[in-house]
Amino acid sequence: MTVLSLDLGPRLSNQNLYRAHTGDTICLQRCPELKGIQLNLKCTNPVGEEILLRQDADRAYFTLSSGGPYRVTWHIVVNPLPLNWTSVSMVTILADPVLTSTNSGPSLTIDQIAAQSHLTKCCGEVQRWGDVFRVSVESGYNTIHLTPVQELGISKSSYSLHSHHKISSSLNLNSGGGYEEDLEMLSRHLQDIHNKTGLFFLTDVVWNHVSICNREILSHPESYYNLYNTPNLIPAYLIDRSIHEFGNAQDNITDVQDLSSFEIKLRNHLLGTAQTLEKLYKIDLNKVLDVKKSTEASLCESQLNKKDINDLIKALWLVNYKEPEYAGDIDVGILRKFLEQRGVTSEPDQNSKISAAICHFNDVEVPTIVDQILNKVISAVMGTVKYRFLDEHGPKLSFGNVPIVDRYFHVSDITFTEELALDIYRKEDAQRIKTCNGWTAGESVSDMNSTMAYTNREVVIWGDSVKLRYGDRREDSPWLWDYMTKYTCDMASLFHGFRIDNCHNTPLHVGEELLRAARHVQPQLYIVAELFTGSEERDCEIINRMGINSCIRELSQSHSPRHLGELIYHYGESKPCGSFIHNIPHGDVVHQPGDENIPLGDQTCTEDNTPQLSLGSSRPHAMLMDQTHDNPCPFDQHPLPNVLALSGLMCAAKCSIGSNRGYDELVPHHIHVVEEERLYQGWSQSDDEDLKPAKKALIKLHQRLEDKGYYETFVDQAREDVVIVTRHHPDTCSKVLVVVATSWSEDSSLTRNYTVSLPGENVKVLLETEILSPQTLPKHTNNKDYITGLSGVKIDVRENPLSSKMVTVSKPDEGNLDIDLLLTPGCVIAVEVEPPQSSKTALQYFNSYILCPEKFDKDLDKVFSTLDLLDLNYVLYRCNEEERVDGCGGVYHIPHHGNLTYAGIVGFLQVLETVTKNNDTGHPLCRNLCEGWWMADYTVNRLKKKNLKLGFFLEEIFFAVEAVPNYTRPKVFYKIISSVYSACLRQIRKLIPTMKTSVGNSWFVEQLVLTSVQLVGKVGDTGIPVLLQDKESVASLAAGLPHFSHGFMRCWGRDTFIALPGLLIKTGRLDVARDLVVGFARTLRYGLIPNLLSERGHRPRYNCRDAVWWWCRSVKLLYKHQPSILQESVYRLFYKDDSPVSPQTPFVCTVFDVITEVLQRHAAGITFREENAGRELDEHLLDPGFNMTAGVDPETGFIRGGSRHNCGTWMDKVGSSSQAGNKGIPATPRDGSAIELVAMGYQTVSWMAELFESGIGTTSVVNMKTGSTHKTVSYREWSEMIKENFEDKFWCSGGYYGNANGYYRDTLGSESGGDEKLRPNQTFAMVIAPELFKPSHMSEALKTIGTNLAGLVGMSTLSPEDADYQPYYDTGNHGNDYRTAHGFNYHQGPEWVWCMGFYLRAKLRDFQHLKKDNPDCMSDDEIGQYFATVLAPHRAMIASDPYRGLTELTNKGGQHCPNSCPTQAWSSGCLLEFLVELEQSEFSGS
């Protein structure tokens, strides 16, 4: 099974190529963003029919039943779409066909094809084809490529067809009937040859032109390009006619001086044509202003951004003049709209500016445009004239006997004048001006309405052919579509494949439709083409649209040995040595996770043990040819020995291969597709004194390499004139070296020695072939009737020789070889080398044990059964700082890459995931492994240091595979490490209950659960206080990695208890949750718990008011799962507020007592100055900021505290820039009653009241300070007080930001003036204490928050309408802006991810309220899709982040913030809380 990930990004486009092969089952697997999103999936097969997809939750399946393009489209059923999403996406999977014999003979995959091109007209009558093609069979070819078999036009060019519906009379079919009978007779002949020889047949299809003598098209003028249906060609015709008239009147050109004089005359002659062009191109001012244009004209963005009206007019003209109906007119409505947006509103003023601009265009721009055209035309004409009449390598034609240039237009029956050109519309005579077809490199001339190639004389014209016009749809030219569809289907019934002539100038929609029709007739149709776009991306687009299987690439056009090597590397290297690609005969598939629960590394299997492999983008597949039939003779560029060398390199490549008839016979001239009239020799006429025996041996070698499984390729430019192509067997690691000695330089014409040193044994020489004599071209006399080659050329061919003349092998030491080669010019040597015995043993172990899940995975599971989650934290993760603190030396460093993110195996797999996906065997990680097993040693030693059984187990594994060939080490290491990772996941699923529930089957939930393992571990210098005096350490929850990994920065009181419910309670890690709850309870002082710990909790800092309330919330949530938590003993560190750490006999209480104390201390009021206040404690905070207060408002019961000089909640940024003037100033004090603290206070006292009412506890009252006195208040009275006052005090009906949208105040009674700022903190309160909120108000507030604060992955910390809003956080900002210097805006606009969890939980409850009141307002599925869409960016983030977590914050719109901590505990924890709650709701979709 082959897996293709359905992505949102540009990867899935027609500019990427995804190849598989017939018979594959394709699994379409959603990328992280699309998991859970409702999609409408559709797949069409190569004939355009929709096929049925087998679908489950996140996957769809179908089978490639035939060759050609399968197009998968998916429509995202979400409204509105998230930012940067497109509603419809598409990807093409190109299935390689299999050429199948009709008589049960052998079939061919495309890499087995060895084709030979023939000019059909040179094959003669069909009765002699068997003899002609036997030459090909005896030369080793299995496929014949024929030029069109149709009747040729007057030029006798093989590609200028008199009629597509007439078989050439030269074939002498003697069918006794017409076209249909000829088809039947030709089919019988081809089938007979196929049955006798096994040959397959390809032919050219010609869709773009027909011979000028074709009479059928004359009655269908819409079917060819002429000046009536394409009037923008009028300038090209005028230029063409003028050049023709000029050329007929010129004297002979004999030297360069004549050429200079000729150019001057030509320029002067064209001046008259230039004046006509200016008349054509000018804008008719009166027509523009007289026409009343619609006021509905609209401007596109590119028009709106034009600098002035002059630029806009030029842009409109560049588009409009190419349109068939252009008559000097442009849309005045667009011009007026443009001027209106620039303040010119009156029509007279507009007319004045429009008139001036058009006059400027006509007087200045048009002459410039015409002058540019003439310069290009003259340059093109002079280049052609120089080549035709003067160049040393040109044809050196006789002046006067031929035109100076070829005509671009074929004119019949009329004289077409400039005057007629200026009034061409509706003149039917213009239909008789036929446009000739031609060829361009780069720019396509398939769209004649937009190209300037004809006007600029950039087309290599074929004067014997008329260019056909299909239009945009079948209705534009129905006769031509029907005519070509029948022709194409007829050829598909005769042949196994097509070569598309002039492919890149074929309109894509035409090629698509005609090939669909052909594949109806021949489902396994093989399509090959030459593409000259100059862009591999453009090539891929054409390949995908038409379903082209192979692109023809030619070696004889190479200009140096190095260029040859580059061609083989680029087109003949399907998979590099040591490839991560699965070892199958063809198709580019990469070992990647098939199991959606395994995000890193590992090939997995379906229930029926079918391997799941990921489809990777690949290069276009090549048919590599030593020579093509339409290019010059190789002897024009290469010495004789290189002819053998080119064939040797071609046959060493892993792709389709081919040659031209005549190459192997050493024909020393070009067999011209137009001029050649002689016949090929048959087998009965040929001899062996040419390249045929060598070619046969080389093609046999090519087939052997494919059949025996040598799928991996390495190309080495061993020395300037020696290219070595090494083909590796991925399983046995045997290799075949094909050594080719090219012959370009004088030095390379001599015999020389070369030594190849490599590990191995048992060398076998497969082939030696060399040219014995002569080394230079002998004289040749052409035969007048037959095409013949050089005679007297002796080529020695030795297959599997018992004694080699050119190879000597020695063993310098055990397991290594020196292969000494005697290289003669052009020789080809192929040797097979087996790996050393030690490598064979290691490979056998790898293949039979490591690759066997029943054995290796079973043993891994036994080892992992001894590991707990803290062990797994060590095995999988641990960042550099965590490692160094524990004396482990840090993470692994890869030269030329850098440090890994983690010391554990996720660090390696995070890099390997990209390496394997791209099959990047040249990555620094792979190079490091090839040079030594240091990564394995690092991993083993690190695990053994902790005395983990896994370390000793892996030591044995790596020892057993140590001797594998070094280039295979990356894939061996990858397979071992990815298997270990999979075993880790299996063990985690056993240990974490959440992973086993239905929600645990969700890919995203599982990734969030893994962050619990990632962030919880034992780190030596953590500040978490021990629970008991005899307990050395406990696990701690890092606030984030790598920023908050160790020391006093690791464990934050606030962060720990915001993240704890999600990462520890929801994952069932109640023991760790208990330890953290009790550990922080030990530090209670002043009625608060600290935000920062140091010296194992002995010197904590009590500078936050909210951490204790997050702690209380965590205790309440933990109590539901572990009621005994309230009675856990707490060994207090501080006996009194002002006492030092307690001595040996500490003060002991329970967790319940701590909560009681927290409530009483707040009720009584808290006031203190931080211990050790001053610059040593905080170098930035001003002195008043060290004075801390907290308490309760006796009128409302609201928790309150703080001042404008300090920050007591999570928005705790204090400025540090003296230059900008914000040093020591809190950016967001949030003093007074912060809304979430009020909610948590309410939740806590309400819960304590419930506990007392259920018989737990001995007291239910506090003494609350009321001014100078105290009053006794019960928990229940306190909670009711809060509830009664909350809505009245916090609801804000709008107006602060100038709008009427309501929301809840952020604080109450703040002396810093921030009460009515719109922030996300109200959503915390909605979740924590929803009973405080009026449902309608909460719904309105959530709409306001969603509109103003909801970002891509996080929540903006301040409304964009606020004057203090600054959404880009940068601690390196050393500017003068008070609002942003040194990151002062930390909580003034940047988007925090953890807040999104509370917002979504609030939205979930809001939906539940709405559904209760109005069940039909939204369907459950729609609500589920809303949440799935919102979380798509989070899924993408956790899948791609190097630390495999959710970041702390982003800048505006989800933009990456470089200062953000990559994986943050509360980001993962809060979203995990939401997802578990969603799963338990009616909107889960389960």
For residue 160, pLDDT over 80 is answered with yes
Q: Which long-range contacts (CB under 8 A, 24 or more apart) does 701-708 make?
A: 701/651, 701/652, 701/736, 701/738, 701/766, 701/767, 701/830, 702/114, 702/651, 702/652, 702/653, 702/657, 703/112, 703/114, 704/766, 705/652, 705/654, 705/736, 706/109, 706/111, 706/112, 706/585, 706/654, 707/112
Which residue stretches of 924-964 are H helix?
A: 924-931, 934-945, 949-960
What is the band of 603 on the pLDDT scale with cuts at 50, 70, 90?
Answer: very low
Burial class of residue 781 (count of CB atoms within 10 Å of its CB; 0-12, 13-18, 19+): exposed
Given this model, what pLDDT does residue 311 score? Answer: 87
Given this model, what pLDDT does residue 175 score? Answer: 76
- Tokens (6 digits) for 561: 């040995």
Nearest alpha-carbon partner for 1463 in 1014, 1021, 900? 1014
For residue 268, pLDDT over 50 is answered with yes
Choose between 1093 and 154: higher pLDDT.
Answer: 154
Given this model, what pLDDT does residue 1326 score? Answer: 98
What is the band of 582 on the pLDDT scale with cuts at 50, 70, 90?
Answer: low
Given this model, what pLDDT does residue 169 score? Answer: 94
Determine which of 198-212, 891-905, 1008-1022 has the lowest per-residue pLDDT on average.
1008-1022
For residue 1145, pLDDT over 70 is answered with no
d(CA 151, CA 165): 8
Given this model, what pLDDT does residue 189 score? Answer: 96
Q: What share of the chain is helix, strand, coil (3-state, %, to 5)?
A: 40, 20, 40
Choose between 1229 and 287: higher pLDDT.
Answer: 1229
- Please enumerate in sequence order all residues whose Cβ is within 8 A of that of 1030, keeping only pairs 6 or more positions apart, or say none: none
Place of tokens 């209480």: 1149
The secondary structure element, H or E, covering residue 1246 is: helix 1235-1253
Given this model, what pLDDT does residue 594 score? Answer: 32
Report if pTM > 0.85. Answer: yes
- Please enumerate in sequence order all residues whose Cβ is within 8 A of that of 576, keeping only pairs 6 or more positions apart, or say none: 712, 713, 714, 919, 921, 922
For residue 1485, pLDDT over 70 is answered with no
- What rounded mean pLDDT belongs to the chain? 89
For residue 403, pLDDT over 70 is answered with yes
Given this model, what pLDDT does residue 1121 score? Answer: 96
For residue 609, pLDDT over 50 is answered with no
DSSP 510: H
Average pLDDT over residues 1014-1038: 74
d(CA 797, CA 792): 16
Beta-carbon neighbour count of residue 1096 at 10 Å? 16
d(CA 761, CA 836): 6
d(CA 1464, CA 704): 56
d(CA 379, CA 361): 26
Average pLDDT over residues 550-577: 88
Nearest alpha-carbon partner for 756 in 748, 747, 765? 765
For residue 836, pLDDT over 50 is answered with yes
Q: 542 vs 444, 503, 537, 698, CA distance in Å?
A: 11, 9, 9, 32
d(CA 838, CA 759): 11
Determine which of 5-19, 747-761, 834-848, 1196-1210 has the lowest per-residue pLDDT on average.
5-19
Determine which of 163-167, 743-747, 1122-1126, 1280-1284 has the lowest per-residue pLDDT on average.
743-747
Which residues are catalytically annotated? 501, 504, 630
Coil/strand/helix, residue 373: helix
Given this model, what pLDDT does residue 511 score? Answer: 96
For residue 330, pLDDT over 90 is answered with no
What's the number of CA atoms in the CB half-sphere (13 Å) around residue 418?
13
Choose between 291 and 1119: higher pLDDT.
Answer: 1119
What is the band of 418 on the pLDDT scale with cuts at 50, 70, 90?
Answer: very low
Average pLDDT over residues 940-959: 96
d(CA 1476, CA 463): 73
For residue 889, pLDDT over 50 is answered with yes
d(CA 157, CA 349): 62
What angle is formed at CA 1115 by the lines to CA 1109 and CA 1116, rounded to 5 degrees? 90
Terminal CA-to-CA distance of the chain, rounded, Å? 27
- Please enumerate in sequence order all residues whose Cβ is within 8 A of that of 249, keeping only pairs 6 or more positions apart, or say none: none
For residue 416, pLDDT over 60 is answered with no
For residue 425, pLDDT over 50 is answered with no
d(CA 999, CA 705): 49
Given this model, what pLDDT does residue 695 score? Answer: 97
Q: 1179 vs 885, 1048, 1105, 1183, CA distance in Å?
A: 25, 16, 21, 10
Place of tokens 């995203």: 1004
Contact 1069, 996 (CB under 8 A): no
Given this model, what pLDDT does residue 824 score? Answer: 94
Given this model, what pLDDT does residue 606 score? Answer: 38
Q: How many helices, marked H, and strands, marked E, lie in the chain?
A: 41, 55
Beta-carbon neighbour count of residue 1422 at 10 Å? 15
Cis peptide before 836 (omega within 30 of 0): no
